[in-house]
Structure 1
Amino acid sequence: MTRPTHSEAHEGSLGARLNWLRAAVLGANDGIVSTAGLVVGVAGATDDRSALLTAGLAGLLAGSMSMATGEYVSVSTQRDSERAALAEERRELKEQPEAELEELTELLEARGLTREVALEAARQLTERDALRAHARVELGIDPDDLTNPWHAAWASFLSFTVGALLPLLAIVLPSAGRRLGVTVLSVLAALFLTGWSSARLGAAGPRPAILRNVAGGALAMGITYAAGALLGAAGV
């Protein structure tokens, strides 16, 4: 009870890696769908390669920066909350150690231990490192591994950029007569892959995730293309 077993530590690190992988897949998916919708919409209005490249690059940079900023702000807020919770726990341990020992005992009891075993475990954990024990058992926080906003921001930036590059390259590299078809097929294939990957990482059946992903991407491209075609026909 005084320290996590090797298997528990392995499961924790595996869970963290899976969360990062899932976030990366979803970030790439956002990059694919948003950039594909943008360039396909522009393609509905014009087949000028420079216009498509400009729109695609603008969407890629704006989207990746937006994702990175949003993740940085969100995770920074989470980290501030974790630090505040640890500071409050440190104060309570200093001012009312007996009450905190009883609280830890009750938490361990709630996990299935008998009163006697929970009390002995709480005492041993408190003697070893009271703050770490309360942080992990009560708050679900590892004081040595707080969330890092910069890691989250860079991960979101890179995953979105990687996803956005696919529709951007698919729309500007082929000839004018083939670029729309190549883009749509490439995007749908990529969405199939990200839908399958997200389902596998979440230990869920892949078919619903794939159908949602592909249908959503196809709908986004269809709507933006129709809007671009209407604007192009109107001479806007």
Structure 2
Amino acid sequence: MTDTRSAAISTRLNWLRAGVLGANDGIISTAGLVVGVAGATTSRTAILTAGVAGLLAGSLSMAAGEYVSVSSQRDSEWAALEVERRELAQEPEAELDELTELLAARGLSRDLAREAAVQLTERDALRAHARVELGIEPDELANPWHAAFASLLAFTAGALLPLLAVVLPGASWRVPVTVVAVLGALALCGVVSARLGGAPVPRAVLRNVVGGAVAMAVTYAVGTWLGSA
């Protein structure tokens, strides 16, 4: 029960961390796009069109990439489980010895490892080998559709901030408001991601804010140059 609960908590943390990173990507990529366009033109329609196009392209790209990635991972895990199931059916004694060695390598005495291996095999041999040998929880394989939808939502949520920040204010305030809003959101993402990953908060915040600031500065400079040209 403890292993199952720990695996569930770890899975939820991974999903949350992925959501924060997806939102972070949405903020930076959309901010860079709309600030660059704002540097080239003051037309709210042009900026909004570019921002919405970037939001849709980015969110759908993230969703498709996540679907492919998680599908490949799931296929690999299923293949590994099938191999293990076949080996358990063909060579049960060899698999029992293997499980014993794996448990002994984790610090159990030889006798205790053998007893634990026997009990785990009698309860659910495939699950025991999946957990100990493969590091897979058979009942909690990632769903590619869930992953794709979560990535789409996370990116969209992040992209909406710079998009609204750049189109709602007047022309003279668009870029300053967007820069402040984006840097504040990136700082928050840095704090959350650092806390989830157990990393130093100041370093994560600084890295996020500097990266976003550089992206906006470069795209704004290019947009301004193209607009004047």
TM-score past 0.5 threshold: yes
2:12 to 17, 20, 25: 17
2:88 to 89, 93, 98: 93
1:37 to 17, 32, 41: 32
Q: How does 1:21-170 map to 2 (within 5 A)?
A: 21-170=16-165
2:194 to 199, 213, 218: 199
2:166 to 159, 171, 175: 171
Please state whether the residue corresponding to 1:144 is helix, strand or coil.
Answer: helix
How far apart, in 2, do the equivalents of 1:145 and 1:200 lie? 25
How far apart, in 2, do the equivalents of 1:94 and 1:10 lie? 29
**Structure 1 residues 152, 15: CA separation in 2 closer, same or farther (over 3 Å shift)?**
same
How far the C-alpha of 1:208 sits from its partner, in A, is 0.3
Deviations 1:93-151 (A, max 9, x none): 11111110000000000110011000111111111111111011100111111111011
Please state whether the residue corresponding to 2:138 is helix, strand or coil.
Answer: coil
Between the aligned residues of both structures, percent identity stands at 71
How far apart, in 2, do the equivalents of 1:12 and 1:121 lie? 20
Kindly report the root-mean-square deviation, in angstroms, between the aligned alpha carbons of the 2 structures: 0.8
Deviates more, 1:120-129 or 1:74-83: 120-129
How far the C-alpha of 1:23 sits from its partner, in A, is 0.4
1:184 paired to 2:179: yes
How far the C-alpha of 1:153 sits from its partner, in A, is 0.4
Deviations 1:18-64 (A, max 9, x none): 11111000000000000000000001100100000000000000000
* Aligned length, in residue pairs: 229
How far apart, in 2, do the equivalents of 1:96 and 1:208 lie? 51
How far the C-alpha of 1:226 sits from its partner, in A, is 0.5
How far apart, in 2, do the equivalents of 1:194 and 1:35 lie? 15
How far apart, in 2, do the equivalents of 1:47 and 1:184 lie? 16
User: What amino acid maps onto 2:27 in structure 1?
Assistant: I
User: What amino acid maps onto 1:18 in structure 2?
Assistant: L
1:218 paired to 2:216: no
Q: Which runs of 5+ in 2 are unaligned?
A: none
TM-score normalised according to structure 1 size: 0.95
How far apart, in 2, do the equivalents of 1:180 and 1:230 lie? 16
